[in-house]
Amino acid sequence: MTNMTPPEAPEDGINAISRDTLPAVSSRLATLTKRADFTRASRAAHTATPGFVLQMRQRAAGEADGIRIGYTCSKKVGNAVARNRAKRRLREIARQNLPEHGIVGMDYVLIGRRGATATLPFTQLQSDLIKALATLHKRRA
């Protein structure tokens, strides 16, 4: 029988995991699931970009903590494949940018747009989200 010991980690750290980014657990956003949350957000401040519409609502003091996010794409966006692709892209831009640019105590809803959310360059969607957040946060102040 041979000795089954795992290989040692390299001393130089070449294969070490870079911790420049936050771990995935800490960047997880709470997701809106109830229709009432979406309708309250629809009556709040919003701004449109070429790729999506962003709605933002400040929650009452007794509601949940943290940043909450919702996503919606109607059948106008396209068939199920197009809607799912659009929502995946919206989820990813939110995951990457809301922990840094969002405000705790806010609900955000990203609404996909026909022919744009699923096809625009990803970097444009990211920059549009950051600009839209800045616009809505200025209005709030």
CATH of 30-140, one of 4.10.1240.10, 3.90.1200.10, 3.40.1190.20, 3.30.230.10: 3.30.230.10
Local structure of 111: helix, strand or coil: strand
Domain coordinates in residue numbering, the chain: 30-140
* 100 vs 8: CA distance, rounded Å: 36
Residues near 23 by beta carbon (within 8 Å), at least 6 away in sequence: none
* 112 vs 90: CA distance, rounded Å: 8
Looking at residue 6, what is its pLDDT?
A: 65
DSSP assignment of 3-66 equals --PPPPPPTT-TTSPP-SS--TTTTPPEEP--HHHHHHHHTSEEEE-SSEEEEEEEPPTTS--S
Total residues found in the chain within this entry:
141
Q: Enter the tokens of residue 25.
A: 């657990």
**Residues of the chain with confidence (pLDDT) below 70:** 1-28, 141
Output the pTM of the full model: 0.78
Looking at residue 25, what is its pLDDT?
A: 45
Looking at residue 141, what is its pLDDT?
A: 67
Looking at residue 64, what is its pLDDT?
A: 74
